């Protein structure tokens, strides 16, 4: 149970750090990156809404909810990585 919570927390922290880095670069950078970032921020907000209850219930429903949240996290991470490439 604690392991699943730690994994979810690490996943969230990693994406959040990537997001914050890109927001700073996008603020200084390209319009295309800013537009993509705005789209991803909506997904980020949705992810955080899903993250909290899943993290709290990780021990009970970790397999199903964690898998769904993992897919959302993968999509967000890939999107932020695309923006990072645009800003280089």
pLDDT number for residue 1: 56
Structure-block tokens of residue 50: 């899903």
Domain residue spans in the chain?
A: 2-86
Structure tokens at 38: 């705005």
Q: CA–CA separation, 24 vs 58, rounded Å?
A: 32
| Residues whose CB falls within 8 Å of the CB of residue 51, separated by 6 or more in sequence, listed in order | 8, 12, 69
pLDDT, residue 34, reads: 77
Inter-axis angle of helices 31-56 and 2-28, nearest 10: 160
> 32, 38 in Cβ contact below 8 A?
no
pLDDT digits (tens, 9 = 90+) for 9-57: 888 899 999 888 888 877 776 777 778 888 899 998 988 888 877 777 7
pLDDT value of residue 30: 73
The predicted-structure confidence for 56-79, as pLDDT tens digits, reads as follows 776 665 566 667 778 888 889 898
């Amino acid at each position: 149970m604690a392991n699943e919570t730690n994994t979810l927390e690490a996943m969230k922290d990693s994406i959040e750090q990537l997001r914050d880095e890109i927001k700073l670069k996008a603020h200084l950078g390209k319009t295309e990156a800013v537009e993509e970032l705005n789209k991803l921020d909506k997904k980020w907000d949705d992810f955080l809404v899903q993250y909290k209850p899943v993290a709290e219930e990780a021990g009970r429903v970790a397999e199903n909810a964690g898998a769904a949240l993992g897919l959302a996290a993968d999509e967000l991470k890939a999107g932020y990585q695309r923006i990072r490439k645009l800003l280089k």
